[in-house]
Amino acid sequence: METEKQKKRVQIYVIATGGTIAGTAESSADTAYCAGQLGLDALLATVPEVKQLADIRGEQLCSIGSQDMDETIWLQLARRVNTLLADDNCDGILITHGTDTMEETAYFLNLTVHSDKPVILVGAMRSSSAISADGPANLYNGIVALADPESRGRGVMCCMNTKLIDAKDVVKRHTTDLATFEGDGCLGYVYGNRAFYNRRVTFMHTLYSEFDVSTIDRLPRVGIVYGYAGCSAIPFDAFVREGYDGIIIAGVGDGNIHRNIFPSAVKAASDGIIVVRSSRCCTGPTCLNGEVDDNRYHFVASQNLNPQKARVLLMLALTKTHDWQQIQQFFMEY
């Protein structure tokens, strides 16, 4: 019989990208700080306790504030994660990331990583040198969750403020609050040295995703246009002029489009540009054929995706097809 000592230790790989979790300030009471300052080793040194949970290796992919995240890094990250997870010596991956665009990176990986091994993103709302910094606890909890066999097959998750939230649902709701990350109900939470799950994700992700970026160097161009009272068609028309492949409208309410933009949207869709209706509302779906007759205008409804995640799915969808009905189907399934 195998003794506790002989049991293989869990192998976790950490990919660091920067963010507030790696940020430093002049003094612990400063609210002004600079993101992405600590390197991977210094970051891990803030939680030596993780060594009791798993063997940890890692690398620094970049050191940026996540406002500067882009498609080139996403493609690099997805390929690296797929390579690492294909190795028997890697049981799961922790990605340290700025919180500003964490939800987009998480969703991109959810659609492009093909493994049931867990991938978890963590960040922090307070810099590493702040009083009561939240980074170390998030890092520790992320590794607890990765080391827990119950975490397999749940898609990419974010672990923030003890919550485990799936990549499709997770959203940063508050600019500065510690409890900023929410979803339509969390998948679970971390308490002590265990992950507790309440539900499973029913949408397609990871192993069941048909999006493959292993040979792609560049993603199709998709822009977002924001809706507001009296809004102008200038940004929408500029994207069209620049030859963008798709445009997401962050419309009002149930993805409604202002009359100043509507004619440009109809023309773009009839010219083969994919126009997706989403909503600037924080929560709720943008429903197909609600107040807008999507079938008539060949618009796509983003369903449960907010504008920034609708953009991620549309970029990937456009690597496979330019057919609006097929793309609508992707928005139903992913």
**Enzyme catalytic residues:** 20
Asked if 142 interacts with ligand SIN (CB under 6 A), we say: no
CB of 65 to ligand SIN, least distance (A): 4
Kindly identify the residues of this chain, within the stretch 85-114, that bind ligand SIN according to CB under 6 A: 98-100
Per-residue tokens: 48: 């030596």
Burial of 280 (0-12, 13-18, 19+ CB in 10 A): middle
Helix (H, G, I), strand (E, B) or coil at 27: coil
Asked if 134 interacts with ligand SIN (CB under 6 A), we say: no
Among 20, 141, 279, 302, binds ligand SIN (CB under 6 A): 20
Give the rounded distance of the alpha carbon of 306 from its chain centre.
Answer: 11
CB of 294 to ligand SIN, least distance (A): 34
Is residue 138 within 8 Å of 161, Cβ to Cβ?
Answer: yes
CB of 66 to ligand SIN, least distance (A): 3
CB of 23 to ligand SIN, least distance (A): 7
| Exposed e or buried b per residue across 137-153, where buried means at least 16 C-beta atoms within 10 angstroms of its C-beta | bbbbbbbbbbbbeebee
Asked if 65 interacts with ligand SIN (CB under 6 A), we say: yes
Is residue 108 within 8 Å of 144, Cβ to Cβ?
Answer: no
Among 54, 125, 187, 310, binds ligand SIN (CB under 6 A): 125
Question: How much helix, strand and coil, in percent to the nearest 5, is found in the chain?
Answer: 30, 20, 45
Asked if 17 interacts with ligand SIN (CB under 6 A), we say: no
Looking at the chain, which runs of residues are DSSP E strands? 11-18, 55-64, 92-96, 119-122, 157-160, 163-166, 171-172, 181-182, 188-191, 194-197, 222-226, 246-251, 274-279, 300-301
Among 12, 19, 133, 139, binds ligand SIN (CB under 6 A): 19
Beta carbon nearer to ligand SIN, 16 or 257: 16
User: How many residues at the interface with ligand SIN, by CB under 6 A?
Assistant: 11
CB of 100 to ligand SIN, least distance (A): 3
Minimal CB distance residue for ligand SIN: 98
Beta carbon nearer to ligand SIN, 171 or 300: 171
Binding mask 177-206 for ligand SIN (x = CB under 6 A): ------------------------------
CB of 94 to ligand SIN, least distance (A): 15
Render 193-262 in DSSP notation, one character per residue: TEEEE-----S--GGG-----TT-SSPPPEEEEE--TT--SHHHHHHHHTT-SEEEEEEBTTTB--TTTH
Among 66, 278, 279, 328, binds ligand SIN (CB under 6 A): 66
Which phi and psi (to 5°) does residue 309 adopt?
-80, -30
CA distance 81 to 108: 12
Binding mask 26-55 for ligand SIN (x = CB under 6 A): ---------x--------------------
Beta carbon nearer to ligand SIN, 125 or 269: 125
Closest CA to 209 of 112, 321, 314, 105: 112
The interface region with ligand SIN, picked from 59-67, 72-80, 191-199, 265-273 by CB under 6 A, is 59-67
Residues that bind ligand SIN (CB under 6 A): 19-20, 35, 65-67, 98-100, 123, 125
